[in-house]
Amino acid sequence: MRFWNNDLLGDSTVLPRAVMASMRVGAAAMLLIGGASPVVAQALETSPAFESRRAPASSVQQTATTLPQRIEQALYEQASEGWSGGSSEAAVVRLFYYGRGYRPAWTDPARRGDLIAAVEGSREHGLAPDDFSIDALRRATAQSGEDAQMIVRRDLLFTEALASLVRQLRYGKVDPSSLYSTWNFSPPLGVRERAQTLSDLLEAAALQDALAALAPQDAAYRGLQKALSRFTALAATGAWPSVPAGPTLRPGERDPRVRALRERLQAEGWLAAGGAAGQGDKRGKAAARGDATRYDKALAEAVKRFQTAHGLAADAAVGSSTLAALNVSAAERVAQIRVNLERMRWVARDMGTDRLVVDITGFNAALQLDGAVVWSSKVMVGRPARETPVLLDHVRHLVLNPKWVVPPTILREDVIPGMIRNAAYLQKHDLRIVDRSGQAVAPAQIDWSSARRGGFPYQVVQQSGSRGALGRIKFSLSNGYAIYLHDTPSRSLFRKPARALSSGCVRLEKPRELALLLLDDPERWNEQALTAAIDSARTQTLPVGRHVPVMLLYRTAVADAADGAESAGVVSFRFDIYNHDGPLLALLDSPSPRPRP
């Protein structure tokens, strides 16, 4: 007989007879399946547990003996009424109490105080204490007396808050699949494991420390936490002045706006009050003297550091892009940091010591092996109209001298319109048409206007070569979106600071070094052997020798991950090239369902 219901617990299990007997089978079944049959109800009425409820007792004894029954009944009523328990953790809470025989979990005032402190500390993670009913928790813990109804309400309130806090710290508040249709990172653990986590936490010697350990533990997350504290303080003090619009400011010039520029950089810490370099640079240059409207050398160096941290060309010229970054308020930076702390919680469980991370907004990629970065490269990613998706993937194999089969989106949006405008479009881009058997098809035989409306039965391909769109190496991934990493003949584009230029795939500046690391076969594949194979112009598919997760991540605020370094905690803010921050922030700031008082 099955007593656990999928809808309530997320699983279905046959319980051993001994367990059913020891846990008061009838009442447990009522709770977990949301009701009881007449047979079960009759069995309950004649059970020793049911009879014990009728036995006379003192008020104190009666409260003690009926609390588990009251908790069980309260949970049953919530389930039968269709009430979610205030959050998606309702099934976790029910199974937690089931596992402890419905005994109260929050009789110790000190333990309740620990949870309240942890909820208040959730601000350090960019979360909102109101999501965990902080005011109701304070009121409940201030109440005294032995009223059974009050004790039951308080116990469920604190357990609901704990379950919700665990979920948000470990997995994030927002479900990423609601924002990304391609989301395929590790999902949260199942109901059983999460209920066990609640039990383990209540057994922990220090509840606050045990809860803090559920959040990501890497230095980059801690760096963002430090930045959140600093920018929150800046926002509270009124932050910094804006720099007025106008012509580009350059070193050596005099302009009244230089005064505002200097004050802006001093306010955030990029430039000390006397003119010395700030955030991350403690060299203590001599204070600037003279005309405050002159764009001097110390100010220029501070601007360069600011530009580098914001993904801008570090040329000290304060043009429109640098001005836009300068005039983002401290409150907006706080929101940006909170959004990116949430993103880190989503993927923390997939962040192993071996990983290849493509930083979409940072326009770079890095391979980490055994915890150390062994390769990094500039990259180009999809332009806003053709975003590079957020994905967890792996390299299936390498292709040397790959030919390019034009994917459907590019065919539909580029090639067919291009041929309608210019009959020489295919020739200009070294493209040709082949049918299903690989035979060439003359472009003049195709009605391109009809192809745009009614589909295209052929493939458009580009042979490998120095001008091939994929360059000399392709890193095939396993996703179904025609997204992969590859070389490119357009090398000059890597000099641009902003490189959202592709049709969705990731172009690598240094593909050969990555290929050797992933082939992981120095006896057969060294630099000379790889060059010879490429120079042969023959298309080859090679298996990788080292399998590492490939993570395509979207991050608009990244903290220096070097613990103890002089620059630790310095944040690099990036432009939200795909406008993903706004929708996530709206969900992060939306109220969470709360337990009933």
46-95 per-position pLDDT tens digit: 343 434 344 444 554 455 568 999 999 999 888 776 655 445 689 999 99
Give the H/E segment covering residue 308. helix 297-309
The backbone torsions φ and ψ at residue 559, rounded to the nearest 5 degrees and listed phi first, read -95, 150
| CA angle 101–102–103, rounded 5-degree value | 95
Residue 51: burial class (beta carbons within 10 Å; 0-12, 13-18, 19+): exposed
Judged by average pLDDT, the poorest of 291-295, 343-347, 376-380, 575-579 is 291-295
**Is residue 34 within 8 Å of 58, Cβ to Cβ?**
no
Nearest CA to 360 out of 555, 165, 584 is that of 555
- Torsions phi, psi of 19, nearest 5? -65, -45
Q: How many residues in total does the chain contain?
A: 597
Q: pLDDT per residue over 138-163, tens digit each?
A: 999 888 777 899 999 999 999 999 99
Q: Which residues contact 453 (CB under 8 A, 6 or more apart)?
A: none
Residue 102 pLDDT > 90: yes
Euclidean distance between CA atoms 334 and 306, whole angstroms:
17
Locus of tokens 């594949």:
525
Evaluate if residue 478 carries a pLDDT over 60: yes
Question: Of 175, 171, 139, nearest to 158 (Cα)?
Answer: 139
In CATH terms, 352-553 corresponds, of 2.40.50.100, 2.40.440.10, 3.40.50.300, 3.40.30.10, to 2.40.440.10
Where in the sequence numbering do the catalytic residues fall?
Answer: 486, 505
Classify 260 in phi/psi space as left (phi over 0), alpha (psi -120 to 50) or beta. alpha
Domain boundaries for CATH 2.40.440.10 within the chain: 352-553
pLDDT over 90 at 44, yes or no: no
- Give me the mean pLDDT over the 188-199 stretch: 96
The whole-number pLDDT of residue 223 equals 95
Token pair 């299990």 is found at 13
Distance separating alpha carbons of residues 559 and 309, to the nearest angstrom: 10
Q: Would you give the end-to-end CA distance of the chain in angstroms?
A: 36
* pLDDT, position 436: 86
Lowest mean pLDDT among 85-94, 281-290, 371-380, 462-471: 281-290
Q: How far is CA 308 from the centre of its chain?
A: 23
For the chain, what percent of residues have pLDDT higher than 70? Answer: 82
- Residue 52's contacts (CB-CB under 8 Å, 6 or more residues apart) are 65
Ranges of beta strands (E only) in 6-103 are none
The whole-number pLDDT of residue 147 equals 87
pLDDT tier, 36 (very low <50, low <70, confident <90, very high otherwise): very low
pLDDT of 570? 82
Identify the pLDDT of residue 434: 92
Helix axes 90-99, 148-171, angle to 10 degrees: 120
CA diameter of the chain: 97
Give 532-586 pLDDT, tens digit per residue. 999 999 999 999 999 999 999 999 999 976 544 444 458 999 999 999 999 999 9
Using alpha carbons only, what angle is made at residue 552 by residues 548 and 557, rounded to the nearest 5 degrees? 120
Residue 473: enclosing H or E segment and its boundaries?
strand 473-477
pLDDT value of residue 178: 94
Residue 199's pLDDT is: 97
CB under 8 Å to 583, separation ≥6 — which residues? 179
Share of the chain above pLDDT 90, in %: 71
What is the secondary structure of 375-426 as a DSSP string? EEEEEEEE-TTSPPPPEEEEEEEEEES--EEPPHHHIIIIIHHHHHH-TTHH
Distance CA 194, CA 198 (A): 7
Identify whether the C-beta of residue 15 lies closer than 8 Å to the C-beta of residue 3. yes
- Residue 276's pLDDT is 47
Buried/exposed code over 11-25 (b: 16+ C-beta within 10 A; e: otherwise): eeeebeeeebeebbb
pLDDT of residue 77: 86
Give the number of C-alpha atoms closer than 13 A to the C-alpha of residue 266, restricted to the C-beta side: 16
